[in-house]
């Protein structure tokens, strides 16, 4: 894949064009390529600094809403909170005291910080997802990833229902931010996430699985790998964890009772 551009300069909220020297088979050529933009964004809750994101500079309200839900500040059935964006800062007003904020455990891992209460939510959902639906939706990650095709630097996340309909889609320079944004979109719209699946690119670390758990999502899937801690968390929380989704193949690490296995018929 090449991200070389014919035009001299191109820009968008997602990416911009920069000049570089391309070397291919010993031949040199100055050209322009598109690179994704990463912006530092500060999040404040009740005027208390909570986190710093390095994210694509758009849909910051959705980013904040999803982060608050995915990191345990909000319950899945909570009402929309007050969020305002001022430049590269996001300010949220929650009905939560400073003591409650301090009760959240801060776990730093894989370059991100997870904020959660010292209590793992148990997913109680009677939603079911077929293996065909999972593989089809995961297969659409790159198909729909416009910014990934342009820059090669974007992560993609989607929320789908049991039928495989893609309800929400988001791309971001960060895999965690792409999850926060797409969950934020669903939360703002009032979608019942207990009957949805989260499909995303990249490795499913425990910090990613904990986001799905806190949001009340019963299934998370990726084309990438997972880690031991994520599998342990998924088993305790009762969430279905699916990784290495490649073509018609996939690995179910937990919650297999929620997945309908459709076997290929011999013709």
Q: Which domain holds residue 11?
A: 4-36
Q: Is residue 82 assigned to a domain?
A: yes
Sign of the dihedral defined by the CA atoms of residues 266, 242, 189, 181, in that order:
negative
Q: Are residues 31 and 137 in the same domain?
A: no
How far is it, in rounded angstroms, from Cα 226 to Cα 121? 20
Q: Is residue 61 assigned to a domain?
A: yes
Q: Are residues 110 and 218 in the same domain?
A: no
Q: Are residues 224 and 256 in the same domain?
A: yes
pLDDT in tens, 216-260: 999 999 999 999 999 999 999 999 999 999 988 999 999 999 999
Range of weakest confidence among 87-91, 119-123, 146-150, 186-190: 119-123
Mean pLDDT over the full length of the chain: 88
8 Å CB contact between 162 and 127: yes
pLDDT exceeds cutoff 60 at 135:
yes
The per-residue pLDDT for 117 is 53
Count of beta carbons in the 10 Å neighbourhood of residue 53? 24
pLDDT in tens, 170-189: 999 999 999 999 999 999 99
């Amino acid at each position: 894949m090449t991200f070389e551009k014919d035009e001299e300069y191109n820009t968008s909220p997602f990416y911009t064009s920069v000049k570089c020297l391309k070397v291919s088979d010993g031949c040199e050529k100055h050209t322009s390529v598109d690179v994704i933009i990463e912006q530092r964004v500060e999040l404040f809750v009740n005027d208390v600094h909570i986190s710093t994101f390095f994210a694509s500079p758009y849909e910051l309200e959705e980013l904040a809403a999803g982060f608050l839900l995915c990191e345990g500040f909000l319950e899945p059935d909570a009402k929309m909170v007050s969020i305002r964006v001022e430049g590269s800062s996001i300010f949220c007003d929650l009905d939560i005291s400073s003591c409650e904020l301090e009760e959240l455990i801060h776990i730093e891992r894989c370059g991100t910080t997870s904020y959660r209460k010292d209590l793992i939510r148990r997913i109680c959902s009677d939603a079911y997802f077929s293996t065909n639906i999972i593989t089809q939706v995961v297969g659409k990650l790159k198909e729909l990833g416009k910014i990934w095709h342009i820059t090669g630097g974007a992560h993609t996340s989607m929320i789908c229902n049991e039928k495989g309909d893609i309800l929400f889609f988001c791309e971001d320079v960060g895999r965690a931010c792409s999850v926060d944004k797409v969950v934020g979109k669903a939360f703002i719209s009032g979608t019942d996430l207990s009957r949805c699946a989260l499909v995303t690119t990249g490795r499913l670390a425990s910090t990613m699985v904990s986001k799905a758990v806190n949001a009340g999502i019963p299934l998370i899937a990726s084309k990438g790998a997972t880690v031991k801690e994520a599998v342990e968390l998924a088993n305790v929380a009762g969430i279905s964890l699916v990784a290495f989704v490649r073509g018609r193949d996939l690995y179910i690490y937990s919650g297999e009772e929620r997945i309908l296995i459709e076997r290929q018929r011999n013709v």
